Amino acid sequence: MDLAHLAAGIGAGLTVIGGGLGIGKLASSAMEATGRQPEATGAIRTSMIIAAALIEGISFFGLVICILLALKA
Amino acid sequence: MTGIAVLDTLKVVTDTLSHTAAKSGDSGWIMHHVMDGKTIDFAPFGEFHVPQLPIIFGIDITPTKHVFFMWLAAIILIAVMTFVARSYKKSLIPKKFANFFEIIIVFVRDEIAKPTIGNSYEKFTPYLLSVFFFILFGNFLGLLPYSSTFTSNIGITATLAVFTFVMTQFGGIRQNGFFHYWKGLIPHGIPVWLLPLMIPVEFLGLLTKPFALAIRLFANMLAGHTVILALIGLIFFMKTIFVAPVSVGFALFIYLLEILVALVQAYVFTMLSSLFIGMAVHQDH
């Protein structure tokens, strides 16, 4: 147990905060759009999943770095 | 008799796990289960050592655990798809099993390939279907007991991403012509003095897409299994049986979530591949 483990833990937490905020904002906007325009539900869901996957990909970059830090130490 | 046998088996499992957990640090046994290895584990009944092959040109070509399960998934995939294809020779109206697969195939064609690639989507549908079903079968195979998720291996996901990259470049070059394709990567109407900045940026953007595809699938499949094992490991970490109901309940919840993730990740990989191919084929918008 040393600083690398601490850094990995803090980094993972920060990454999850960022990813959660991003996907939460995205989902709230998508829900609102679906409520305003129910006939466009399919198109909104598709673009929501694509954007969610991109946000998720970014946060996974951070998480992989955290795993590498934790395994290295 | 069987009750005692089950109890004995349970004792062997707990002993093995707590022994491994005590011996190899905090997370060694989790890594052993998730990572690639040369043995296929059937704990507590022992393990199967893969026969070693000679090293050729300094490369170890021995099939590992993930390679074994990748071949298994490929064999199942070929068997299932041959069966589905054969059933159309009898009648064009699919029966129960083939009907189920027709729904998924039509979904990939009409909801993924057609809207993102537009016209000339027929050329890319076979590749998208192959990659979708390969990832789907791999993800679901990893959820079975005693098996291993080969899609949580960075080498395999990177290879799939390279396939998508090659399909994207060849599709774009074939549609637009070699020079026109590379010229079309730079947005129209930007000043000439910005070109030294834009060319490296666009080139990096070209390589980031498959990299993100590989990391996304790898990390998603790795994360779920690690969380399940960590929740089970809490029982041995706290050394009390009263954590077990909570641990097992949460592990079951994560497992059900993994079924959703297995579907969504296959969809997302195919969807993004299709989107990148569509962007390369139709550069003007």
| Residues A38, A63: Cα–Cα separation, whole Å | 36
Q: What is the mean pLDDT of chain B?
A: 82
Task: Give the pLDDT score at B1.
Answer: 44
CB contact under 8 A, B271 and A60: no
B220 contact A CB<8A: yes
Note the pLDDT tens digit of each residue in A11-33.
999 999 999 999 999 999 999 99
Percent of chain B with pLDDT over 70: 88
CA-based angle B271:B74:B86, to the nearest 5? 90
Note the pLDDT tens digit of each residue in B181-211.
887 777 777 788 888 888 888 888 888 889 8
Task: Give the pLDDT score at B132.
Answer: 93
Q: How far apart are the first and last CA of chain B?
A: 70
CB contact under 8 A, A46 and B111: yes
B112, two tokens: 């993924």
- The three-class DSSP label of residue B270 is helix
Chain B contact set for A4 (CB, 8 A): none
Which member of B115, B219, B267 has the closest CB to residue A60? Answer: B219
pLDDT, mean of residues A28-51: 88
Confidence of residue B180 (pLDDT cuts 50, 70, 90): confident
With a cut of 90, say whether residue B16 has pLDDT above it. Answer: no
Task: Give the pLDDT score at B4.
Answer: 62
Residue B182: exposure state from Cβ atoms within 10 A (0-12, 13-18, ≥19): middle
CB contact under 8 A, B220 and A54: no
A17 contact B CB<8A: no
Note the pLDDT tens digit of each residue in B81-90.
998 888 888 7
| Residues B226, B81: Cα–Cα separation, whole Å | 32
A73 contact B CB<8A: no
- Residue B39: φ, ψ to 5°: -120, 150
Q: How many domains does chain B have?
A: 1
Q: Of B33, B35, B36, which is closest to residue B230 (Cα–Cα)?
A: B33
With a cut of 50, say whether residue B233 has pLDDT above it. Answer: yes
Enumerate the domain spans of chain A. 3-72
Task: Give the pLDDT score at B240.
Answer: 78
| Residue span of the structural domain in which B64 resides | 2-281
| Residues B71, B89: Cα–Cα separation, whole Å | 27
Note the pLDDT tens digit of each residue in B137-157.
999 998 888 888 888 888 899
Task: Give the pLDDT score at B137.
Answer: 92
Note the pLDDT tens digit of each residue in B35-68.
777 777 776 666 777 777 777 777 777 778 888 8
Contacts of B279 (CB under 8 A, 6+ apart): none
- CATH, domain A3-72, list 1.10.3720.10, 3.30.460.10, 1.20.20.10, 3.40.50.150: 1.20.20.10
CB B150 within 8 A of CB B157: no
Most confident range, picked from B9-13, B72-76, B93-97: B72-76
Task: Give the pLDDT score at B161.
Answer: 93
| Residues B61, B116: Cα–Cα separation, whole Å | 39
Q: How far apart are the first and last CA of chain A?
A: 8
With a cut of 80, say whether residue B22 has pLDDT above it. Answer: no
